[in-house]
Amino acid sequence: MIRLDWAFNRGDLMRGRDQQSGSLFSYVDIEARVAADHPLRQVREIVNEALSALNKSFEALYAREGRPSIPPERLLRASLLQLFYSIRSERQLMERLDFDLLFRWFVGLGIDDAVWDATVFSKNRDRLLNTEIAQEFLSALLALPRVRALLSREHFTVDGTLLKAWASMKSFRPKDGSGPPPAGGRNGERDFRGEKRSNESHASTTDPDARLYRKGNGRESVLCYMGHALMENRNGLAVAGTVTHATGTAEREAALALIDRPRRRRLRRAIRRAGRVTLGADKAYDVSGFVAALRQRAVTPHIAINGRISKHGVVRTTAVDGRVTRHPGYAISQVIRKRVEEIFGWDKSVGGLAQVNFAAWPRSKRSSPSRSPLTTSSGCQSSSPGLDAPNPSRKAPHRQPSLAGP
């Protein structure tokens, strides 16, 4: 009895043992380690459905002979995890994939499977995304029945945003080689006072395809590219994305390119069945040439009116007339179109597109928004209000044909 009281006072009967040695074997399946209600379960089902539709495209990319490569399905799943969890580098992604059972389960690796080298993963992933696979993956994702149920078929919004280039303002030098030589040191000083700089006479020595551009009057000029997104208005999901040079007409040119992506025969058939499509945009798109191009495509321009007053007191003439603004759908589009900024906010803060990770236009175009279709598709999955069924409380005011998806 005395011995029992002494043991009870020590707490040996109820205190657990802190054993540091690990177990040699584990009999719990990795599937059981993931909670049944974890959000990635639903995302993984949708991703696998979309990837199964790309099987023929994957087969055409790889040779019949040679050493087996990293499966493209696992490359894309790992890339999605990098976007979902804002992992800054492939090396950190491989480190996380090595010890995180959730990551291993999502990608498709067993608990004993070796993780790839970061360089090997990067080269295989870049080789895959150099093709149209990223865009095909987004198209396959949007074609799934439970995803299509979330998309509006008639009301869309387009907008653009600046993507900071991987180049310093100190690298923006005259194209003819004139000007003072660079200062010594790793990060030498540079004096820009009194120097007139423009994209016609200057270029970045680090990233020649980056353009000097400013978002508006009174804003600073930066070396950048321009990203574009097409959003459906029912649930605010991105259905297309691309990247262009930063110019004054890039937004309108990219908007027409995004609209023209679906097959024209499908679009004409949808228009005959349900009427016209509406496209919302901010006042930067209030240009007569762009509005006329939309009308040629049977798209109603729900564009914000640019009523800027000149220094002489003259109000600018808008290209949007009363035939559009008199309808209640125009006012609704002006409210919903602002949600496209949520897509850009997700892409930059979570998806890692605030600054492109590579210099040189061909690679930047693939890496930022091909990461753009890939980032767009991941943002589409992460922001969906529900992927099992459409949300009946968030319906569009009226229905017309689709610009997105098959």
Same-domain status, 169 and 285? yes
Contact predicate 190/181, CB 8 Å: no
Mean pLDDT of all residues in 57-82: 90
Instruction: Give the range of the structural domain holding residue 66, as residue numbers without chain letter.
Output: 31-131
Would you state the pLDDT for residue 111? 87
Would you state the pLDDT for residue 11? 52
Helices (H) and strands (E) in the chain, counts: 18, 8
- Percent of residues in the chain assigned helix, strand, coil, to nearest 5: 40, 15, 45
Confidence grade of residue 197 (pLDDT, cut at 50, 70, 90): confident
246-255, 263-272, 338-347: least confident range: 263-272
Same-domain status, 215 and 85? no
Give the C-alpha distances (Å, rounded to integers) separating 350 from 78, 84, 355, 382: 15, 7, 12, 11
- pLDDT of 54 > 50? The answer is yes
User: Is residue 19 assigned to a domain?
Assistant: no
Q: What percentage of the chain reaches a pLDDT higher than 90?
A: 41
DSSP 170: G
Mean pLDDT of all residues in 131-139: 84
Same-domain status, 338 and 289? yes
Name the strand (E) or helix (H) holding 245.
strand 238-245
The domain tally of the chain equals 2
Contact predicate 81/105, CB 8 Å: no
Same-domain status, 221 and 283? yes
Q: The whole model's pTM is what?
A: 0.78
DSSP 315: B
Domain boundary residue among 344, 361, 378? 361
Q: What is the CATH number of the domain that holds 203?
A: 3.30.420
Contact predicate 204/210, CB 8 Å: yes
Would you state the pLDDT for residue 406? 33
Residue type (1 letter), 82: Q
User: Is residue 15 assigned to a domain?
Assistant: no
The chain-wide mean pLDDT, for the chain, equals: 81
Confidence grade of residue 367 (pLDDT, cut at 50, 70, 90): very low
Residue-wise DSSP of 354-405: SB-S--SHHHHHHHTTSSHHHHHHHHHHHT-S-SSS--TTS--SS----SS-
Euclidean distance between the first and the last CA atom of the chain, given in angstroms as a whole number:
79
User: Is residue 368 assigned to a domain?
Assistant: no
Residue-wise DSSP of 215-237: SSTTSPPEEEEEEEEEEETTT--
User: Is residue 102 assigned to a domain?
Assistant: yes
Same-domain status, 121 and 224? no
Same-domain status, 291 and 156? yes
Name the strand (E) or helix (H) holding 155.
strand 155-164
User: Is residue 221 assigned to a domain?
Assistant: yes
Same-domain status, 103 and 168? no
Segment 289-321, tens digit of pLDDT: 999 999 998 899 999 999 888 878 888 889 998
Mean pLDDT of all residues in 368-377: 53
Same-domain status, 217 and 300? yes
User: Is residue 369 assigned to a domain?
Assistant: no
**Which stretches does DSSP call E strand in 265-338?**
277-281, 299-303
Contact predicate 280/337, CB 8 Å: yes
User: Is residue 295 assigned to a domain?
Assistant: yes
Mean pLDDT of all residues in 267-285: 74
Segment 157-170, tens digit of pLDDT: 999 999 999 888 88
Same-domain status, 162 and 105? no
| Token pair belonging to 380 | 């589409």
Residue 357: φ, ψ to 5°: -90, -5
Same-domain status, 165 and 45? no
Mean pLDDT of all residues in 199-228: 90
Same-domain status, 199 and 283? yes
Residue 9: CB partners within 8 Å, gap ≥ 6? none
Contact predicate 383/346, CB 8 Å: yes
User: Is residue 126 assigned to a domain?
Assistant: yes
**Of 54, 215, 135, 192, which Cα lies nearest the Cα of 376?**
135
Would you state the pLDDT for residue 313? 82
Same-domain status, 114 and 242? no
Confidence grade of residue 63 (pLDDT, cut at 50, 70, 90): confident
- pLDDT of 393 > 60? The answer is no
C-alpha triplet 348, 352, 354: angle, nearest 5°: 45
